[in-house]
Structure 1
Amino acid sequence: MLIAIIGACEVGFWVVLAAGLVARYPLRLRRTGAALLICVPLVDVVLLAATAIDLRGGGTAGFAHGLAAAYIGYSVAFGHSMVRWADERFAHRFAGGPPPRRKPKYGGARVRYEWREFGKAVAATAVGCGILLALIAWVGDAGRTEALNGWLARLGMVLAVWSLWPITHTLWPAKPKDANPPAGHARPR
């Protein structure tokens, strides 16, 4: 059942976000749009409450409980940037706003971008692990929360793999393709 709630929360996130942006731009209801956008984080509160209630009511932690904690962590860390991403596109399409920003492709700007995204992943891992540890302490029964310990390692592994992107971009930054090759070198066709 908790998997269904996680799915419903994901759908709810996008529905509330879309409703807020539609109210804000095509319908020109700025206050209504703002109120709906403020409600986006409430989806995470619903999921956290459902997870805690299930465990406190005697449920044994399983895959879904760990997934819920990870989902909330990533939603907290990346939610604002996802809302901004969608807002830029709606503003451009419906309100004559500037074209949406794209991630940088080269050089120092790309390296900074990758480290910033990794910083968000660190925050997501910290929030997710904090929720897992809080649930373990709240239930107070190691036998019922054993599956949550495995999620601590999973989140750590995801973060370790994620670190490869900023590290490789730092060591070997992407360079723009040379538009004017040196004399004597033909451009491939």
Structure 2
Amino acid sequence: MNFVAWMIIASEIGFWIVIVLGLVTRYVLKRNKLGLLLLALTPVIDLILLLATSVDLYRGATATTMHALAAVYIGVSIAYGKSIIQWTDERFRYYVTREGAKPIQRFGMDYAIHYLKSWGRHVLAYLIGAGLLTGMVYLIHNPSRTEALIGALKVWTLALGIDFVISISNFIWPKRKKA
């Protein structure tokens, strides 16, 4: 595995460590402001990954799928970060501290609308990640070194389209409660 792959793994581990530390600090240690500060550090992890990827490419590395995955990771982290933290916060409060309301399960039109909003976040992640990918292609300005980036962008565009079809299908065949 190359340097960028390890940085992506470290970023994901760091993301969850910061979230868990933030929640433990906030709810178990009752240090609300410090817990919120820890949770607010998650974008710093994205910045570190962006810098590591940029330096690797600047030093002349040929862009790989891992470089593309770093851009995807950053886009997804920025677009979904707040909702992931909120989702984790609700479950931590309910299942760990036994405080707060039980997390709701969505069905029917409520689920379809929620999924469509999530697809909107996917679009935002795509715009951020595609912007990073396009920026890398433009800055490197060497097609033989950026093939993997263009390929990843094509695959992600297809995945975004498939996600849209799934999103619309939820309105046609709504998710039902299991009996």
TM-score (norm 2): 0.91
What SS class does the counterpart of residue 42 from structure 2 fall into?
Answer: coil
Contact 1:91-1:97 within 8 A present in 2 as well: yes
Kindly provide the amino acid, as one letter, of the partner of residue 105 in structure 1: F
Q: Give the 5 Å matches for 1:40-55.
A: 40-55=42-57
Corresponding residue of 1:70: 72
Aligned to 2:6: 4
Runs of 4+ in 1 over 3 A off after TM superposition: 174-177
Q: CA deviation at 1:95?
A: 6.3
- Asked whether 1:141 is paired with 2:142, we answer yes
Query: C-alpha separation between the residues in 1 aligned to 2:45 and 2:69?
Result: 15
Q: 1:127 and 1:3 mapped to 2: Cα distance? A: 20
Q: CA deviation at 1:113?
A: 1.1
2:39 corresponds in structure 1 to 37
| Residue of structure 2 in register with 1:94 after alignment | 97
Kindly indicate whether the alpha-carbon contact (under 8 Å) linking 1:20 and 1:34 is maintained by their aligned counterparts in 2.
yes
Q: Distance in 2 between matches of 1:90 and 1:152?
A: 35
Q: Percent of pairs identical after alignment?
A: 36
**Equivalent pairs, count:** 176
Provide Cα deviations, 1:113-158, integer angstroms capped at 9, x if missing partner.
1211111111111111111011112222222222211111011011
Gapped regions of structure 1 (runs ≥ 5): 180-189
CA RMSD in angstroms, aligned pairs only: 1.7
CA contact (8 A) 2:107 2:174 kept: no
| Structure 2 residues without counterparts, runs of 5 or longer | none
Deviations 1:37-72 (A, max 9, x none): 110111111111111110011111011101111111
1:25 and 1:95 in contact (8 A); partners too: no
Residue in 2 that maps onto 1:184:
none
Q: TM-score, normalised by structure 1?
A: 0.87
Residue 19 (structure 1) shift = 0.5
Q: Any conservation in 1 of the 2:21–2:35 contact (CA below 8 Å)?
A: yes
Moved more, 150-159 or 139-148: 139-148
Q: Work out which of the two has the higher radius of gyration on C-alpha atoms and give 1 or 2.
A: 1
Q: Which has the higher helix share?
A: 2
SS for the counterpart of 1:83 is: helix
User: 1:7 deviation in Å?
Assistant: 0.4
Aligned to 2:173: 172
